[in-house]
Chain A
Amino acid sequence: MGYKAKTWFLAVIAVILIAVFLFISIGSSWDYILPRRAAKVFAILLTGGSIAFATTVFQTITNNRILTPSILGLDSLYLMIQTIVVFLFGSKTLTMGSSNLNFVVSVGLMILFSGVLYKVIFKREQQNIYFLLLIGLIFGTLFQSMATFMQVLIDPNEFQIVQDKMFASFNNIKTDLLGIAGISVLLVSAYFRKFIKYLDVLSLGREQAINLGVDYDYVVKRLLIVVAILISVSTALVGPITFLGLLVVNVTYEFFKTYRHQYLLPGSILVSIVALVGGQLIVERVFTFATTLSVIINFCGGGYFLYLLLKENKSW
């Protein structure tokens, strides 16, 4: 199969799954059910696409196939923000308050954090990107510890609310967020377009990229900001789900066996959509909402990685 055929193959599967998801046992009250399901599908497309896209770009920048943007500490920051809100104002603000406000504040803080992080790291020249990751990792752990600290102090009922936020779930998407999230992703994608040609070269590593005329620091900084925004938006929309990115990007590499981002990017987005829509179908039809999607994703993903570790001796 050629690259184009593979892309079409994935696209067809994605469309079939979406169709099944939309119309399965729809019954007579379709005018009530269909818009709800459509909103869910839209949320899945948005987050799945963003996560896959961000992870591919992130792995290209770091030249590392086992990293996810979660190492920047954004998921942990999100959880800490949610915990602080519950800790200070009670769970009512999360469940009843304006979700738009929460979204804007969370995304804003996450982008601010990564902005400050990049600024500090890149001010000192010759800092390699792994130093950035190390700092991100440390901050992530710090945020997580602080969140855990507050979680053990709060009322167990309140904790339940926080815990809901800790697992990514499409079961009750806040539809009023979809508009603002969609617009942000659209804007970021438009901005990203002029950098797309650099990705293949960036995957050769810093020195080759500079040799071939890429303004490395400038481009990498912009790309990292794009990654941060996409991750922040999708995390605020459905919860921490970056493990999905690691999974789908590696599946994409296995499937396409190429370095060309013109195939990798759409491919990973499609794989991500297939995984999420398929997973959500299983959540709703097999487990009848007894579990969340991230549990299934993490379970399948973990299994897949064990399989890769045992089987793989040649890397792509």
Chain B
Amino acid sequence: MVEAKHVSKLYAGKKVIDDVTVTIGKGKITSFIGPNGAGKSTLLSMISRLISKDAGHIYIDGKELGQWKSGDLAKKISILKQSNHISLRLTVRELVSFGRFPYSQGKLSKEDGRYVEEAIRYMELEEMQHKYLDQLSGGQRQRAYIAMVIAQNTEYILLDEPLNNLDMKHSVQIMKILKRLVDELGKTIVIVIHDINFASCYSDTIVALKAGKIVREGTPDEMMDPVVLREIYEMEMKIETVDNHKICIYFS
């Protein structure tokens, strides 16, 4: 279980995360939604220790973040940021192999190789595994990065806008894979996502942030409500039910 308790973060005296308390349940997809600048990515980065917190505590499986050894934590929780500009020229397979570093410390064993193989298969990257990342399309590259996270084989997977710059087909593909990761491998996934319809269709819990605070959290059913969404986004939206999923229409 991941718990954040009274967490705050200041940038130049301004609170971008203001006394946030949230609990992320195991074996679920949790989506962070909210307008730009709400602090979703900041919260995700704090949970994954990429940036420090200025106040509060974050517990992963009951142990405070600072008490964990960095190497052990890398076997427990992984994060993928939205901008991955790696300056190296790597093949897909090399990138995925990096995911095994917490276990192998750079020397890949047979078992590590098996995990890499599996991750590549899981993301359907077999055919392009020896291509360089800069030869791939945005969707393929995103899949390669997710394969790296899968190879890292952590219980908790945090993804910052995994659908950024992807077309509909690839977005659906990624979300289905995330769903499979939860259903088949029992992972716990937290994503920051802008498209609330994706959040509605695929997540178990939606947490809405606004101006550094959590304004609402609940199941997609509770959250996909004109009144709730108006509070979060300050605009009128229509909710329709299609195939048991609540879909929000916000284009007019």
Contact = CB atoms under 8 A, between A and B. Distances in A.
Interface in B61-105: 70-75, 78-81, 84-90, 94, 98-99, 101-102, 105
B74 A213 contact: yes
A212 interface: yes
Nearest to A262: B106
A210 B89 contact: no
A126 B78 CA distance: 20
B51 interface: yes
B73 A213 contact: yes
Contacts of B80: 211
A212, A259, A316: residue with the most chain B Cβ atoms closer than 10 Å: A212
A180 interface: no
B102 A212 contact: yes
Q: How large is the interface on B (under 10, 10 to 19, 20 to 34, 35 or more residues)?
A: 20 to 34
Interface string A161-204: 00000000000000000000000000000000000010011011
A58 to B, nearest CB: 14
Contacts of A315: 89
A215 B101 contact: no
Contacts of B106: 197, 200-201
Contact of B75 (A125, A197, A205, A213): A213
Question: Secondary structure at chain A's binding surface: helix, strand, loop or mixed?
Answer: loop
Contacts of A213: 70-75, 101-102
A135 to B, nearest CB: 20
A200 B97 CA distance: 12
Nearest to B83: A207
B205 interface: no
Contacts of A259: 88-90, 94
B78 A211 contact: yes
Interface string A232-270: 000000000000000000000000010100000000000
B70 A201 contact: no
A208 B79 CA distance: 8
A216 B74 CA distance: 12
A210 B45 CA distance: 11
Contact of B51 (A126, A200, A205, A211): A126
Contacts of B102: 212-213
A214 interface: yes
B51 A201 contact: no
A63 interface: yes
Contacts of A65: 87
Nearest to A315: B89
Contacts of A205: 85-87
B86 A208 contact: yes
A145 to B, nearest CB: 32
B50 interface: yes
Contacts of B48: 210-211
B67 to A, nearest CB: 14
B49, B70, B74, B94: residue with the most chain A Cβ atoms closer than 10 Å: B70
Question: Secondary structure at chain B's binding surface: helix, strand, loop or mixed?
Answer: loop
Contacts of A63: 87
A127 B89 CA distance: 27
A125 B46 CA distance: 14
B101 A201 contact: yes
Nearest to B104: A197
Nearest to B160: A207
B193 to A, nearest CB: 19
A168 B115 CA distance: 50
B70 A207 contact: no
B70 A210 contact: yes
B74 A211 contact: yes
B152 interface: yes
Nearest to A64: B87
Contacts of B165: none
Given A197-B105, A205-B86, A259-B88, A212 B49 contact: no
B23 interface: no
Contact of A212 (B51, B52, B81, B152): B152
Nearest to A316: B89
B162 to A, nearest CB: 15
21 contacts: A64-B87, A197-B106, A204-B88, A207-B79, A207-B81, A208-B86, A210-B48, A211-B48, A211-B50, A211-B74, A211-B79, A211-B152, A212-B74, A212-B102, A213-B71, A213-B72, A214-B70, A216-B70, A259-B94, A315-B89, A316-B89
Given A65-B87, A213-B72, 16 more contacts: A64-B87, A126-B52, A197-B106, A201-B98, A203-B87, A204-B98, A210-B48, A210-B70, A211-B48, A213-B71, A213-B75, A213-B102, A215-B70, A215-B71, A216-B70, A259-B94
Interface of A: 63-65, 125-126, 197, 200-201, 203-205, 207-208, 210-216, 257, 259, 315-316
